[in-house]
Amino acid sequence: MTSPPHLETLVQRQKAFFASGQTRPLNFRVQMLRRLQEAIAREEEAIMAALAEDFGKPPFETYATEIAILQSEIKFMLRHLPQWTKPRRVKSSFLNFPSSDAIYAEPYGVSLVIGAWNYPFQLTLSPMLGALAAGCCAILKPSELTSATSGLTARLIQEHFPPEYLTVVQGGPQVSQALLELPFDKIFFTGSVPVGKIVAQAAAKQLIPVTLELGGKSPCLIDETANLSVAAKRIVWGKFLNAGQTCVAPDYLLVQESVAAPLLEKLTQTITQFYGPLPAQSPDFARIINDRHFQRLSSLLDHANVYTGGQTDAASRYIAPTLLSNITWEHPIMQEEIFGPLLPVLTYPSLPQAIQQINARPKPLALYFFSESKKAKELVLHQTSCGGMCLNDTISHLANPHLPFGGVGTSGQGNYHGKASFDAFSHQKSVLMKPAHPDLPLRYPPYGKKLNWIKKAFKWL
Ligand code: NAD
């Protein structure tokens, strides 16, 4: 595929701007972050309206998960950027004596950020913060499925930043693929595993460094020692926020057999407590993004045992917060990431068996474990692999900028948030600085008896 000339021109203009060195000074980066901070603050109402238009996202959820999370990342970066941008002195090697050595964080250059639709504002701008902090230029390609939010993002960036520094290109997979042909210096992708593979292949063709923030099925385990009332609240919150359309939402529950029945009851009570007896009328529950996903999710309900919920309305793309019981690993709902308000509940007889089931599947983006047993928590922590985890909570680990966020295996490569975002857009340039004198002759030919000396020198190390 050849990229349309206007996209090539955009990249070339950004390359020229980057080469001018204007994005590198700390002052510039700080100014740009502050400019964005103010712009987002001014547009709060518009952002909430856009998300409500796209998929009925409640204003509280938009504020907490799109606006506040970005603003706290910006504050964190402003506080720490002076430190991050300083060269980091490291010990020099005896063999290179005399020298002084340091690591310089060097901006990669012109980056491409491709975003997903489920947190459309935050997932496009949050990686961009890393690009800004690192001193890069960026082209953003938000999702085509959330046209109101993507349009607003484009307007906001256009109004506050020159296109040779930051710009938004709107469109779907074709536009995305045309962009992937261009000579970016860094690609940051958030989305599904299949598209992640396409992006990784495109990046590999040009050997462009790439971060992949992908998805998958994130398990949530509950053992018999867990505080079930608290677990029910934290699970219902993490699962049904954004109507279950969250990359780190608990995809399924894996419950110790002895507590499955009381947990199901508490989960049902909590759903009613949070969303009322008729969640369709709750102002706090979002809708499914489009008809395709509505049909996909509705068909998963067809042969499932509905414990709670299960109601749907195609016209408003509503699917009730739903619990599915007596689900087996072979059920269709257990074959792919659910990405919607359906929560299958499976049971396990013993923790090692549950761990074995998890480890037999692709490494998840997140893993949650509710337990009061220290030993059991240690077991799950050390015997499973996942992008990130919460013990006795769901999804909250992504809101701490001190914790790098990302997947492992098929759930992603690389990470971001806080310093990790800065690092994702920086090359760690190792620099050795040597004075002209003294110029010790040990390493230069002719070697003569120097072999004995160098052997002795290595013994001292
Ligand atoms: P998606 O992969 O369908 O789309 C993501 C982006 O890729 C969009 O901008 C889209 O236009 C583009 N795209 C789609 N098809 C493409 C193609 N063939 N070639 C090139 N680009 C293409 O994902 P989505 O439906 O927007 O998001 C849902 C998925 O993203 C879920 O799997 C979810 O778990 C994952 N996700 C992961 C994170 C994370 O941080 N790890 C966050 C949010 C969502």
CA neighbor of 311 nearest in space, from 303, 300, 302, 322: 322
For 191-199, the CB contacts below 8 A with 24+ separation are 191/114, 191/115, 191/116, 191/215, 192/116, 192/337, 193/337, 193/410, 193/411, 196/412, 199/114
Residue 95 binned pLDDT confidence (cut-offs 50, 70, 90): confident
Average pLDDT of span 306-320: 98
Contact 204, 180 (CB under 8 A): no
Burial code (b: 16+ CB inside 10 Å, e: under 16) for 65-101 equals: bbbebbbebbebbeeebeebbeeeeeebeeeeeeeeb
Average pLDDT of span 117-139: 98
**CATH code matching the domain that covers 5-214+412-428, chosen among 3.40.50.11540, 3.40.50.720, 3.40.605.10, 3.30.1490.20:** 3.40.605.10
Cα–Cα dist 206/272, whole Å = 52
Three-state DSSP state, 423: helix
Q: What is the pLDDT of residue 126?
A: 98
**98 Cβ contact list (under 8 Å, min separation 6):** 92, 434, 435, 438
DSSP secondary structure string, 9-70?
Answer: HHHHHHHHHHHTTTT-SHHHHHHHHHHHHHHHHHTHHHHHHHHHHHH---HHHHIIIIIIHH
Q: Is 360 left (phi over 0), alpha (psi -120 to 50) or beta?
A: alpha
Which residue matches tokens 């390609």?
141
Q: What is the pLDDT of residue 239?
A: 98
Three-state DSSP state, 187: strand
Evaluate: CB of 272 within 6 angstroms of ligand 1: no
Residues with catalytic annotation? 213, 247
Q: How many CB atoms lie within 10 A of CB 38?
A: 12
Instruction: Give whole-number Cα distances, 290 to 55, 215, 341, in Å.
Output: 8, 19, 14
- pLDDT tens digits for range 353-375: 999 999 999 999 999 999 999 99
Pairing type for strands 388-391 and 186-190 reads unpaired
Average pLDDT of span 123-147: 98
- pLDDT tens digits for range 403-438: 999 999 999 999 999 999 999 999 999 999 999 999
CA 365 to ligand 1: nearest atom: 41
Residue nearest atom 35 of ligand 1, based on CA coordinates: 191
* pLDDT > 90? residue 461: no
Q: What is the pLDDT of residue 2?
A: 54
CA neighbor of 109 nearest in space, from 375, 396, 425: 425
Evaluate: CB of 337 within 6 angstroms of ligand 1: yes
Q: How far is the CA of 45 from the centre of ligand 1 (A)?
A: 26
Residue nearest atom 22 of ligand 1, based on CA coordinates: 173
Cα–Cα dist 351/353, whole Å = 5
Give 28's Cβ-side CA count (13 Å radius). 15
Contact 389, 371 (CB under 8 A): no
* pLDDT > 90? residue 129: yes
Q: What is the pLDDT of residue 456?
A: 86
- pLDDT tens digits for range 441-456: 888 999 999 999 888 8
- pLDDT tens digits for range 183-218: 999 999 999 999 999 999 999 999 999 999 999 999
Evaluate: CB of 400 within 6 angstroms of ligand 1: no
**199 Cβ contact list (under 8 Å, min separation 6):** 114, 180, 187, 189, 191, 210, 212
pTM here is 0.96
Go through the chain and tell me how many residues it has.
461
Q: What is the pLDDT of residue 212?
A: 98
Instruction: Give whole-number Cα distances, 143 to 81, 132, 198, 240, 267, in Å.
Output: 29, 21, 16, 22, 33
Contact 202, 180 (CB under 8 A): yes
Average pLDDT of span 151-164: 98
Average pLDDT of span 36-41: 98
Contact 71, 40 (CB under 8 A): yes
Residue nearest atom 32 of ligand 1, based on CA coordinates: 192
Q: What is the pLDDT of residue 216?
A: 95
Write a three-state SS string for 265-322.
Answer: HHHHHHHHHHHCCCHHHCCCCCCCCCHHHHHHHHHHHCCCEEEECCCEECCCCEECCE
Q: Which fold has domain 219-406?
A: Aldehyde Dehydrogenase; Chain A, domain 2 (3.40.309)
- Which range is least confidently modeled, 2-6, 236-240, 271-275? 2-6
Evaluate: CB of 322 within 6 angstroms of ligand 1: no
Q: How far is the CA of 48 from the centre of ligand 1 (A)?
A: 22
Which residue matches tokens 């999804």?
395
Q: Give ∠ CA 283-285-288 in degrees, rounded to 5.
A: 125
Contact 254, 348 (CB under 8 A): yes
- pLDDT tens digits for range 288-303: 999 999 999 999 998 8
- pLDDT tens digits for range 7-33: 999 999 999 999 999 999 999 999 999
CA 141 to ligand 1: nearest atom: 9
* pLDDT > 80? residue 460: no
Cα–Cα dist 292/5, whole Å = 33
**364 Cβ contact list (under 8 Å, min separation 6):** 216, 217, 218, 219, 251, 358, 386, 387, 411
Cα–Cα dist 139/135, whole Å = 14
Q: How many CB atoms lie within 10 A of CB 383?
A: 13
Q: What is the pLDDT of residue 203?
A: 98
Cα–Cα dist 411/91, whole Å = 36
Q: Give ∠ CA 376-381-387 in degrees, rounded to 5.
A: 145
Mean pLDDT for the chain overall: 97
Beta bridge pairs of residue 168: 140
Q: What is the pLDDT of residue 442?
A: 87
* pLDDT > 60? residue 1: no
Domain boundaries of the chain, sorted by first residue:
5-214+412-428, 219-406
